[in-house]
Amino acid sequence: MKSKLKDKAIDLRKQGLSYSEILKKIPVAKSTLSDWLHSVGLSKNQKQRITEKKLAAIKRGGEAKRRKRIEKTKKIKIKAISEIGRIDKNNLWFMGIMLYWAEGAKEKEYSPGQSVSFSNSDPMMIRIFLKWLKECLKIPEKKISLEIYIHETHRERVKETQKYWSGVTGFPEDKFDKIYYKKDKLIGNRKNKGENYHGLVRIKVKESTDLNRKIAGWIEGICIQCGVV
């Protein structure tokens, strides 16, 4: 019986079947199959077929892992979203302060007179910061200026970029009248090169040096209340 199974295994191997394919037809241990087949030669086409099968199996495994990861991420995010309760104006006030602490321009002793200036490429962060300025600090829109910073290799996409940020912020396209171009390095690993790249927006508040100092005070007050200073 074992001899017949071995002969069948060798015949299948000569047909170009992989070990996994043969094991589905012949129920023996993989180590036994390996002993039977280690001396069986394969043609170039047979080797190529087995290689292609292995690569296809790896790809299927990778796709399955990717789908599993996406589904897991989706479940985690849905649960996390449900954990966020209602955000009132006081919550938003603290959120804006922390955003500015992370991404806003601060006044330096060697460079006094810094107005409120906030830069980012994340559209949701830009929206929340503008909401903070308008609703918590009561800054009128006429005091808000918007600038776009984009790599010079995207000069031909300026109108598209203005339209994009207009949609994000709710401000008209002509509000983004100041465009600054950043030089691209000849060699670099920058990933933001495709159609989803829209540069970043700098939000500036006119005549806001004292407001910047006030924000600095709020930040220091938070540190004191948290007991970290």
pLDDT above 60 (res 189)? no
pLDDT score for 126: 98
The per-residue pLDDT of the chain, averaged, comes to 90
**CA angle centred on 194, ends 192 and 195, rounded to 5°:** 120
pLDDT score for 27: 84
pLDDT above 60 (res 50)? yes
Q: Are 146 and 202 in contact (CB under 8 A)?
A: yes
**pLDDT tens-digit map of 135-161:** 999 999 999 999 999 999 999 999 999
pLDDT score for 193: 63
pLDDT score for 3: 83
Which pair of tokens denotes residue 16? Answer: 């170009």
**Any idea which of 40-44, 170-174, 196-200, 208-212 has the lowest mean pLDDT?**
40-44
pLDDT above 70 (res 63)? yes
From first CA to last CA, the distance across the chain in angstroms is 81
Q: Please state, in angstroms and rounded to a whole number, the distance separating the CA atoms of residues 160 and 206.
A: 26
Consecutive H or E run containing 199: none
pLDDT score for 190: 53
Torsion of CA 156, 159, 161, 166, to 10 degrees: 180
Q: Please state, in angstroms and rounded to a whole number, the distance separating the CA atoms of residues 95 and 87.
A: 10
Consecutive H or E run containing 137: none
pLDDT above 70 (res 1)? no
pLDDT above 60 (res 222)? yes
Three-state DSSP class for residue 170: coil
Portion of the chain with pLDDT greater than 90, in percent: 61
Quick one: average pLDDT of 164-169? 97
Q: Please state, in angstroms and rounded to a whole number, the distance separating the CA atoms of residues 142 and 55.
A: 60
The pTM of this model reads 0.73
